[in-house]
Every structure is written in C-alpha cells, then in structure tokens.
C-alpha cells in the first residue's frame, strides 16, 4: 500500500509546491488539509481545488473559526494569557487547532505521516510536532523546508517546471501569520530592531495617532466568557470579530517586541490584536472585582505558566489540562459588565458592575456609613510585622 502524508495546506506557493515535492522525495500520496481559523484570503473551495490541481490525491477544507474562538481563544481570555506580559499568543493558539484536524485527517485517510511548512528556526515547528505527537503518538512528522532544503528559489523553479496553478510573484518582504484573534508580522527591515515599524505593515488596526471620536463599549461576561456587547448577546467568535473592528478602528492592540523564542533565539515581532487586548483587559478588571485576593494572586502565577506552555507548543500536555481546570474554577464568579473607552490606541476601563462583586462600598468608603472598624488595625499591624521586627532586632544588634 502506498504511504500517505497529510499536509497542512495554506494554498500559497510553498505548501502548493510541497505537495509534489513530498511525492517526489518520499513516493507518498499527499492529502492536503486547509483549516480556516479566520485568516481571511481566498475562498476555501478555491483552495481545495488548487490542492487537487497541484497533485493532492485528496483535499479537505475546514471552517474552524467558531471552534477556534470557543476552544482556543476563550481559554486564553480566561487565562489573561500574555506571553512575556505582552503577546496574546495569536499564532500559538492557532497551531493546536490546526493540529487537531491534521491528526483526524491522518486517521481518516490511514496516513502515517503529517507534514507542515515550517522552517527549522521558528516556534511553529515545535507547536505542530509536539501537538501531533500528543494526539497521534504513532505519527511521523516531516517539514519540506527544513528537512529537504526546499528554499523559496527551489519552490519557484519547481512550480514553473511542473506548471503548477499558483502565482510565483515576488515574496513579500515580511512574514505574516494571521487569524481571527490577531496578526503577526516579522522579518524584512524589522529584523533590525532599531528600525521603527512603518504604517503599511498594519492591516487590523488604524493609526492610533489619527484624531477621531472615542468609542465606548460595555462588555458582559458570564463565568469569564464574553456573552454580550452593549447588551446584545454574542458568541465568543462574534465578540472577537466585532471588537476587532471597533478596537482596531481606534488603533488598539499594536505590539512591537523582542521576544524569547523556544529555540533559544530572540526575535523581533510586531503584532496586531485589537480584540484580544480589549477582551483580556476587560476580563482582568472584572476578575479584580469578583475574585478573592489569595486566589487572584495565585491565578497570576498560573496565567504566566499557562501562557508559557501554550507558547512552547504544549497545548495538549497534562499540565496545561490541569491548569485549565484551575482557571475554570477560579472564573466561576467572573460575571458582570465592564465599560471601556476605546481611543487613541488604548482600551481604558471606566466602569464595573457585578452581582458577584466582592467590592463593599460601606467597607471601602471614607465617608459616613463606613463599616470598617479602624480600631482593630493597630493590633493587626503589630502581629503582621512581628516576625520582621524580631529579625530586625537581631540583625541590628
């Protein structure tokens, strides 16, 4: 029986060429799988037909936008996931969503190998292969660009030699990855970390310096899940899509950073994530109102570790699953409304309300009606600082 390879297919030059390239290098039949996580571009049926025209024996396309929002973006919102305190894991979240469908296709088509288009110096090769090995431990992985030295020049030459139905236009100076949760831009002149980004690299956000009227939005959550915008019920996908437009129009979610890649190098990345930043900001503030202090403190540690695991490609790991359970438990009372002003590149919280609130006006106020018994504060402070006081006497003697 001829070996079969499932290929993560985008419809672009590199993965289109990879269909015939893999067949020539391995003698295997190739099944192309394209997963739509909101990256935009061509119609899925056009992509499917191109894969077949380029030599795939089977081609599948999956509209996974709703699934991606509910099963991958939502956990990141509940985890307030910001790698290195800044990056909302735009690309890292999409990889396990794609992997799930690649492994399912491999099982369906009796394929023993899964292929992807990653290079050998990025994070995505790890995310794909660690995820594939977790869901299909018996599957092998190959990466034509990395394993068979399929350079851009070789890909163009192969495309022209085989007369494949794909344009071989000059490559963009940037490497771009995008989905419904955000957009990542790297390489080109951005590799010089002294160079400032130019306006034409952005697509999801308007220039935040352009004068415009502010936009006010009320985001409603139920147990950590965004369920309404300005009182209108929404799915998670709708909340993301609508806030992409509204927050993006205000220039919110631009991130320019040098990040620590899993493979050990530092890389300059420019991100656009308007809805991610708006939703995480709102969710964090509602947690401030509804989550008890010690739980909130510990959750911040969990959030950092959760983000590192996802960034490192360990979405399907036992620790990540266990942390998901903790986060769901911690968010059970995160229900209420957050009012935000979207303006000039910032999402600023201006109001909070929740029936689950732990904020007690009568305890917090300094005016009449104050129910906090201040007479107990002095004794509390003496006991609280006692161990430090004893140590200080020793150290100063």
Active site (annotated) includes residue 175: yes
Q: In which region does residue 77 sit, left (phi positive, over 0), alpha (psi from -120 to 50) or beta (all else)? A: alpha
Measured distance CA(30)–CA(257) in Å, rounded:
38
CB under 8 A, 24+ apart: contacts of 40-44: 40/178, 41/11, 42/11
Cα separation, 341 vs 358, whole angstroms: 24
Q: Can you name the residues that pair with 177 across neighbouring β-strands?
A: 184
Q: Which listed residue (4, 48, 50, 95) is catalytic?
A: 95
Whether 360 is a known active-site residue: answer no
Between CA 214 and CA 221, with CA 219 as vertex, the angle to 5 degrees is 165
Instruction: Count CA atoms closer than 13 A to 133's CA, side-chain side.
Output: 12
Q: In what order do the strands lie in the sheet with 113-115?
A: 58-63, 29-36, 4-8, 113-115, 140-142
388 catalytically annotated: no
∠ CA 118-124-130, nearest 5°, is 110
Catalytic residue (choose from 86, 133, 175, 261): 175
> What whole-number distance in Å separates Cα of residue 235 and Cα of residue 225?
9
- In the set 36, 124, 312, 331, the catalytic residue is 124
**CA neighbor of 318 nearest in space, from 140, 134, 138, 136:** 134
Length of the chain as a residue count? 397
To the query of whether residue 95 is one of the catalytic residues in this protein, the response is yes
Kindly report the CA angle at 14 between 123 and 259, in degrees rounded to 5? Answer: 20
From 124, 105, 109, 135, select the one nearest 33 (Cα to Cα): 105
DSSP string, 173-188: SSEEEEETTEEEEESG
**Token representation of residue 309:** 């695991």
Active site residues per annotation: 14, 95, 124, 175
């Amino acid at each position: 029986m001829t070996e079969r390879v499932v290929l993560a297919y985008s419809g672009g030059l590199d993965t289109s060429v990879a269909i015939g390239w893999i067949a020539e290098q391995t003698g295997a039949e190739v099944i192309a799988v394209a997963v739509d996580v909101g990256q935009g571009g061509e119609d899925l049926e056009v992509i499917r037909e191109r894969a077949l025209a380029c030599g795939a024996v089977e081609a599948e396309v999956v509209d996974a936008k709703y699934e991606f929002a509910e099963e991958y973006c939502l956990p990141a919102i509940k985890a307030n996931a910001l790698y290195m305190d800044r990056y909302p894991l735009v690309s890292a979240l999409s990889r396990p969503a794609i992997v799930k469908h690649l492994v399912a296709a491999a099982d369906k088509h009796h394929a023993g190998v899964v292929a992807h288009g990653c290079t050998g110096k990025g994070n995505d090769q790890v995310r794909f292969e660690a995820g594939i090995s977790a869901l299909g431990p018996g599957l092998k992985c190959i990466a034509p660009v990395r394993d068979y030295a399929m350079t851009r020049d070789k890909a163009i030459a192969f495309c022209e030699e085989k007369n494949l139905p794909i344009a071989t236009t000059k490559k963009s100076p940037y490497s771009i990855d995008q989905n419904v949760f955000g957009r990542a831009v790297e390489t080109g002149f951005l590799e010089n970390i002294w160079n400032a980004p130019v306006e034409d690299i952005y697509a999801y956000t308007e220039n935040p310096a352009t004068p415009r009227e502010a936009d006010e939005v009320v985001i409603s959550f139920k147990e950590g899940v965004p369920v309404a915008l300005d009182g209108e019920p929404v799915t998670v996908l709708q909340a993301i899509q609508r806030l992409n437009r509204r927050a993006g129009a205000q220039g919110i979610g631009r991130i320019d950073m040098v990040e620590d890649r899993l493979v050990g190098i530092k890389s300059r990345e420019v991100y656009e994530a308007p809805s991610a930043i708006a939703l995480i900001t709102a969710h964090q503030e509602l947690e401030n109102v509804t989550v008890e202090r010690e739980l909130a403190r510990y959750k911040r540690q969990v959030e950092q570790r959760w983000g590192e695991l996802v960034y490192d490609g360990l979405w399907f790991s036992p620790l990540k699953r266990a942390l998901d359970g903790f986060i769901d438990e911690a968010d059970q009372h995160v229900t209420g409304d957050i009012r935000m002003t979207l303006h000039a590149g910032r999402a600023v919280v201006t109001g909070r309300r929740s029936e689950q609130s732990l904020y007690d006006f009568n305890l917090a106020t300094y005016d009449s009606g104050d129910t906090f018994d201040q007479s107990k504060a002095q004794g509390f402070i003496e006991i609280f600082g006692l161990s430090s006081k004893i140590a200080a006497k020793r150290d100063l003697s």
